[in-house]
Amino acid sequence: MKSFLDSYSIFNFNKVMKKISKSLFILMASIFGSLYLLGCTEIQIVETTTTDVNMYSYLRKYPDKYSDFATVLDRAGYASFLDAYGAYTMFVPTNAGVQAFLKEMNKTSADQLTVEEAKDIAKIHIIRDTLTTKSFKDGKLPLITMYGQYLIGGVSFNNGVSSFSLNRQASVIESNITVGNGILHIIDKTLKPAKLSLSAMIESNPNYSIFTQALKETGYYDSLKVVDPDLSKRWSTVITESNAVLGNAGITSYDVLKKRYSNTGNPRLKTDSLNLYVAYHILPGIKYLADIISSASHLTKIPLEVVTSKLDGQTVLLNDVDFNGIHEQGIELDRNLSDNASTNGVLHAANAHFVVKFRKPTPIHWKVSDFPEIRKLPAYFRKQGYAFAMESIKDWSWQMNTISYVYGTGGVTATTYFNDCLQIPLGLGNAARSNWIEMKTPLIVKGKYKVWLCYRAQKQSGTLGTTGGSVNVVQVSVNGDPLPRPVTFTDQAPTGTAGELESLGWKMYMNNVTSLFACGRLLGTVDIKTTDRHTLRMQSISGGQNTNNVDLIQFIPVDMNQLSPKFTQSGLMVP
Amino acid sequence: MLKKLLHISVCLLLLIIPTSCDNWLDLQPQDGITKDKFWKTKEQVQAGMSGIYASMLAPSSNSITAVSSLGGNSLIISLFLWGELRADMLTTTFATRAEDLDIMNVNVLASNGITNWRTVYQIINYCNTVIDFAPAVLENDKTFTQESLNSYVAEAKTIRALMYFYLARTFGDVPLKLKATSTDEEIQQIPKNTQAEVLDQIVKDLNEAEPNAPLTYGNTASDKGRITRYTVNALQADVYLWMEKYAEVLTACDKITKSGKFGLIEGSRFFNAVFVQGNSNESIFELQFDRQRLNEFYPLFANPRRFSANAYVMDYVYTQDFTDDTKKDLRGPEASVRATDGMIWKYSGINATQVRAIEDYTAHWMVYRYADILLMKAEALALLNRGAEALGVVKTIRNRANALELTNENPDPSDSEAVADFILSERAREFAFEGKRWYDVLRHSKRNKYKRMDIMLEMVARAAPPDRQQSAIAKYKDFNSHYLPIYQYELQTDKNLIQNPFYK
């Protein structure tokens, strides 16, 4: 049987030829021919998802610029992981930068480095995450290098040009080069890790000789020498005082210092005042100036003793505080002599002699309705009411809606100190009222205090002194520790003599006001552990209402008279 | 058989070819008018001119799609951000965007969308189109006079000059494009010109425009919303002030002050007349928003409120009289800023207490007003060592506003720098949030080859966040950092552009 294809097979070619005109055949032949030629071109199939190179390959792409550092990476054995998937930041010194560094080490080429040396150099240049120049601040970069030391970012200005700088050693020439596995920044010099410990760094500076000796005598010298492998314990921050600074305070030698402060004769004792002097200059953790000003207070080596800090213009000040209405001028940190990185911390220098301030616990009569934001509104402050929206009071936070400043010689403020108060709506499980509010107290000296909340009792609905209507029970806590007795803003004081009331935890805090709604409630005793501003929180635990009229919160040392002074509407304190 | 097939196919082909021809060979766009059909009548010239003004009011195209995000912010949003973000009068809120924050933190990268200048160049291109094509209309439309042609070209040149002035002050060196791009073939990759070259072109354009720009259009709305000869003079004064040619500043200012057409709005009418109603007697040129074209400030200042006024504004710029709250600067609380919460009131208030509704965010954008002319004049006088005259002018401004005595710096009239500093502070009070603060600070700092760098550094020390303050100061010591980077998209598409060396 003849197949259909047979008629077209090569054997029948001549027969078929006869059926087709010659010209048509040529046409077809040429079409087939051109198709054949077209088919010849190889199809390029892209098998990679990106043409971006990774870090190491990028360096090898520009041997005239980066070959030396690439060789360092080779020596360290890091070439492969820097060419693999990941997210890194690498600071790449140019060839000139590497050469200058090698010269310092008396080597002529990167091949001569030992593997360990190469690793150390490579590690200080690599961070295990991506950082653009946006994360450069005045202090350390937010992430630590593989070497285990932070790099100090910053900006330097030389010859009319500003550039990002690292460790005050190198300038960034080209920034934010994105490669497949991270970001490169090109720098002009090789970074060198800090080699000195805090102790060694202080000792190496003859201007700090008195302070060095104090460190040695008190034993802190030895602890500041150690580079703890545990990163969480490694870092300290030391604020030194130079011989000149001490000299200005009349301390010309270590002996004078010892004579002035050491009360036990043994500076190694933690209770010795010289020991405390040194301990007060050591802050746990790594804190560059930028970190110091970012937080209002810092713990020191003295348990629970803090230094406070602030930025005034461009000046970094320590212990610049208003205490009981008196401004205490702070101690300036010298920007030029500060921010020195060492293997286990950072070293700053103070411009003046300072010691830990031992203050006796002092009563604080915190007028809650007097804060900077209301003082800035002269049309309202002690003139008329004003509602503060969330986030509009700097040191306070609450959950929702507004809290109100209330003023008036009549109404609820007829019997309050300065004729004003703060109305804080609180409630439990209410969609329109905050459940809690947190406020920063004024500076409170460490010690034991009784806490009184003085308010103008009011029921938003119902009658005071009766059981019906609004009820609002509020728990107050200081630094997260609840005070034992809650306050019920809808309750007024019971009747009784001052002594009877005090024994029940009540007092009449206004002078010559006998109305029971102008009352103070004892919330309990609190142990303030650090001399600092603390967080006070009010939290509704039952009921709720808007008219919680807070006038004063008092912290009165436990051994003092709890009933005086009393207050007047015109703003006087009557002892 | 084969022949028949051939015939049929030929016939079919003949049927197809003529129909398809129409689409194949005619390249007219179907969704617009081409150049050779346009630019025929005077009405079309007028339409072209209206297009320029419309483009200055056009909304932002900041939707989330990648393509339109290239369009960038509207003109006045750009002008506000460029003029205020790097200065000291704004503060962040929780709705502040990352790109705003980066600029406020002196941390600008070329990837920051705020540096996109596309909107401004678009307007420049519309101006170029009118300048290039309007003259040909004279041949086609006999009712179109040489005089009105000159007037249109003067308007377009002035707006182009204004746009280039913003660009030169914001980016330093920018490409100067003076020919219209009307077809794809005309898209060029052009390099940057220096700031000085751009300024020279601006001066040239303004000098050409001045004699032809009309003094009035016959109605207030047009006189305040379109370019008049006084706008040209105002811009001349501003440009010469920047170029430190103080005698020319005085000449330009005097043309306006001597016209007798403008004055300061006095007393309690000030806020309402100038900022709420707009087109006041004090206005020289303003961008007129209305309910059909909102100014887009609602999300910036009201909800979610990207910016609030820095506490510095109430504490130091205007200050308050704590003993007598009836004494207050007319321009300060409840005019520029709501003292109680720092809301930027200039564009948000209807009166002292009431906030605009979202559909009422129609406050006009002040480009120049009479107070600006007076203070520019005062600045020129001060720097020509005519301190006493300068202080006289400043006093006029202060008296109108009931400025508090606390803010009177009382400089020695013979100390030109002190008088100039006082004028700079007065400008902060007068033009708060009008997109002028950064340019004012920069102009004063860069005077005499940056002799007064201290002004800039003092400002950034105050405005930068504490943990970045020292970096910010070091950055601003580099003059190049005072100009924004070229947006990276522009760098990718125009290979002739070279990035500002600070952003290496």
pLDDT in tens, A517-542: 999 999 999 999 888 889 999 999 99
- Mind listing the pLDDT tens digit for each residue in B46-79? 999 999 999 999 888 754 433 334 568 899 999 9
Q: Which residue of B has its CA nearest to A377?
A: B340
Task: State the Cα–Cα distance between residues A433 and A152, nearest whole angstrom.
Answer: 46
pLDDT category of residue B31 using cuts at 50, 70 and 90: low
* Record: contact A162-B340, CB cut-off 8 A: no
SS3 sequence of B365-412: EEEEEHHHHHHHHHHHHHHCCCHHHHHHHHHHHHHHHCCCHHHCCCCC
Residue B256, in any domain of the structure? yes
Domain end residue (candidates: A301, A326, A350): A350
List, as ranges, residues 324-343 from B with C-beta within 8 Å of A. 325, 339-341
Residue with tokens 């080490």: A105
Residue B13 above 80 pLDDT? Answer: no
Q: Confirm if B125 and B132 have CB atoms less than 8 A apart.
A: no
Chain A residues closer than 8 Å to B323 by CB: 378
* Record: contact B467-A133, CB cut-off 8 A: no
- Select from B325, B473, B501 the Cβ nearest to the Cβ of A379: B325
pLDDT score, position B67: 39
**Spatial CA neighbour of B308 closest among B89, B82, B69:** B89
Residue A425, in any domain of the structure? yes
Task: State the Cα–Cα distance between residues B44 and B135, nearest whole angstrom.
Answer: 12
Task: State the Cα–Cα distance between residues B502 and B107, nearest whole angstrom.
Answer: 12
Chain A residues closer than 8 Å to B500 by CB: none
Examine the domain organization and report whether A342 and A369 are in the same domain: no
Task: State the Cα–Cα distance between residues A59 and A63, nearest whole angstrom.
Answer: 7
Q: Give the mean pLDDT of B32-37.
A: 68
Which residue of A161, A338, A370, A395 is the best one to mutate when testing the B interface, meaning the one whose CB has the most B CBs within 10 A?
Answer: A161
Q: What tokens appear for B501 in the block?
A: 């060396």
Q: Give the mean pLDDT of B344-350.
A: 95
Examine the domain organization and report whether A303 and A383 are in the same domain: no
Query: CA of A228 to nearest chain B CA: how many angstroms apart?
Result: 28
Give the number of beta-carbon pairs within 8 Å between A and B.
90
- A313 interfacial to chain B (CB closer than 8 Å): yes
Query: CA of B11 to nearest chain A CA: how many angstroms apart?
Result: 20
Residue A356, in any domain of the structure? no
Q: Which residue of B has its CA nearest to A310?
A: B466
Length of chain A: 575
* Record: contact B466-A173, CB cut-off 8 A: no
Determine the distance from the C-alpha atom of residue B160 to the mean position of all C-alpha atoms in its chain, rounded to a whole number.
Answer: 11
Residue A458 above 80 pLDDT? Answer: yes
Mention every residue, 6+ apart, whose C-beta is less than 8 A from residue A454.
A417, A509, A519, A520, A521, A550, A551, A552, A553, A554
Instruction: Write the Ramachandran bin of A490: left for phi over 0, alpha for psi from -120 to 50, otherwise beta.
Output: alpha
- Select from B102, B476, B501 the Cβ nearest to the Cβ of A134: B102
- How many distinct structural domains can be found in chain A? 4
- How many distinct structural domains can be found in chain B? 1
Chain B residues closer than 8 Å to A294 by CB: 466-467
A88 residue type, one letter: Y
Q: Confirm if B363 and B346 have CB atoms less than 8 A apart.
A: yes
pLDDT score, position B38: 86
Residue A506, in any domain of the structure? yes
Q: What tokens appear for B20 in the block?
A: 């398809």
Examine the domain organization and report whether A385 and A319 are in the same domain: no
Domain end residue (candidates: A350, A378, A396): A350
Mention every residue, 6+ apart, whose C-beta is less than 8 A from residue A27.
none
Task: State the Cα–Cα distance between residues A411 and A429, nearest whole angstrom.
Answer: 29
Number of H helices, E strands in chain B: 20, 6
Residue A257, in any domain of the structure? yes
**Spatial CA neighbour of A416 closest among A546, A287, A312, A513:** A513
- Mind listing the pLDDT tens digit for each residue in B276-317? 999 999 999 999 999 999 999 999 999 889 999 998 998 899
Q: What tokens appear for A325 in the block?
A: 């209405």
Q: Strand, helix or coil at A217?
A: helix
CATH of the domain at B410: 1.25.40.390
Residue B297, in any domain of the structure? yes
Query: CA of A376 to nearest chain B CA: how many angstroms apart?
Result: 8
Residue A355, in any domain of the structure? no
Examine the domain organization and report whether A211 and A299 are in the same domain: yes
Determine the distance from the C-alpha atom of residue B79 to the mean position of all C-alpha atoms in its chain, rounded to a whole number.
Answer: 5
- Mind listing the pLDDT tens digit for each residue in A301-329? 988 888 989 888 889 999 988 887 788 89
Residue A128 has what DSSP assignment? S
Task: State the Cα–Cα distance between residues A443 and A530, nearest whole angstrom.
Answer: 10
Examine the domain organization and report whether A250 and A127 are in the same domain: no
Task: State the Cα–Cα distance between residues A550 and A421, nearest whole angstrom.
Answer: 6
Domain end residue (candidates: A187, A215, A237): A187
Mention every residue, 6+ apart, whose C-beta is less than 8 A from residue B490.
B116, B117, B118, B497
Q: Which residue of B has its CA nearest to A137?
A: B468
Q: What tokens appear for A213 in the block?
A: 């000796």
Q: What angle do CA B171, B172, B175 make, to 5 degrees?
A: 80
**Spatial CA neighbour of B257 closest among B278, B277, B237:** B237
Task: State the Cα–Cα distance between residues B461 and B450, nearest whole angstrom.
Answer: 17
- A405 interfacial to chain B (CB closer than 8 Å): no
Residue A10, in any domain of the structure? yes
Examine the domain organization and report whether A476 and A372 are in the same domain: yes
Q: Give the mean pLDDT of A30-51.
A: 65
pLDDT score, position B27: 63
pLDDT score, position B183: 76
Examine the domain organization and report whether A325 and A395 are in the same domain: no
* Record: contact A376-B466, CB cut-off 8 A: no
- Select from B93, B479, B504 the Cβ nearest to the Cβ of A175: B504
DSSP class per residue in A167-212: TTTEEEEEEEEEETTEEEEEESS--------HHHHHHH-GGGHHHH
Chain A residues closer than 8 Å to B341 by CB: 389, 392
Residue B405, in any domain of the structure? yes
Chain B residues closer than 8 Å to A378 by CB: 320-323, 325
Examine the domain organization and report whether A302 and A257 are in the same domain: yes
pLDDT score, position A33: 59
Mean pLDDT score of chain B, rounded to an integer? 90
- Dihedral, B351, B356, B361, B367 alpha carbons, nearest 10: 20
pLDDT score, position A3: 47
Residue B174 above 70 pLDDT? Answer: yes
- B425 interfacial to chain A (CB closer than 8 Å): no
pLDDT score, position A39: 53
- B450 interfacial to chain A (CB closer than 8 Å): no
Residue B436 above 70 pLDDT? Answer: yes
Chain A residues closer than 8 Å to B302 by CB: none
Residue B56, in any domain of the structure? no
The HSE-up count of residue A8 (CA atoms within 13 Å, CB side) is: 2
Task: State the Cα–Cα distance between residues A240 and A331, nearest whole angstrom.
Answer: 12
- The enclosing H or E element of A127 equals strand A126-127
Which residue of A133, A136, A155 is the best one to mutate when testing the B interface, meaning the one whose CB has the most B CBs within 10 A?
Answer: A155
Interface ipTM? 0.77
pLDDT category of residue B23 using cuts at 50, 70 and 90: low
pLDDT score, position A7: 45
* Record: contact B475-A155, CB cut-off 8 A: yes
Given CA atoms A292, A297, A302, A304 in this order, what sign does their dihedral have?
Answer: negative
Residue B272, in any domain of the structure? yes
Residue B311, in any domain of the structure? yes
Structural domain containing residue A555 = 364-574
Number of H helices, E strands in chain A: 16, 33
Q: What angle do CA A392, A289, B104 make, to 5 degrees?
A: 45
CATH of the domain at A206: 2.30.180.10
- A161 interfacial to chain B (CB closer than 8 Å): yes
Residue B230, in any domain of the structure? no
Residue B248, in any domain of the structure? yes
List, as ranges, residues 466-495 from B with C-beta within 8 Å of A. 466-481
CATH of the domain at A382: 2.60.120.260
- Mind listing the pLDDT tens digit for each residue in A155-194? 888 888 898 989 888 999 998 899 989 999 999 999 998 8
Q: Strand, helix or coil at B350?
A: coil
pLDDT score, position B94: 85
Mean pLDDT score of chain A, rounded to an integer? 88
For chain B, the 3-state helix, strand and coil shares in percent, each to the nearest 5, are: 55, 5, 40
Structural domain containing residue B348 = 244-432
Residue A46, in any domain of the structure? no
Query: CA of A387 to nearest chain B CA: how many angstroms apart?
Result: 9
B67 residue type, one letter: V
- B449 interfacial to chain A (CB closer than 8 Å): no
Residue A76 above 70 pLDDT? Answer: yes
Residue A49, in any domain of the structure? no
Query: CA of A523 to nearest chain B CA: how many angstroms apart?
Result: 33
- Select from A175, A293, A392 the Cβ nearest to the Cβ of B341: A392
pLDDT score, position A1: 44
Examine the domain organization and report whether A159 and A224 are in the same domain: no
Lowest mean pLDDT among A46-60, A408-422, B96-110, B129-143: A46-60
- B122 interfacial to chain A (CB closer than 8 Å): no
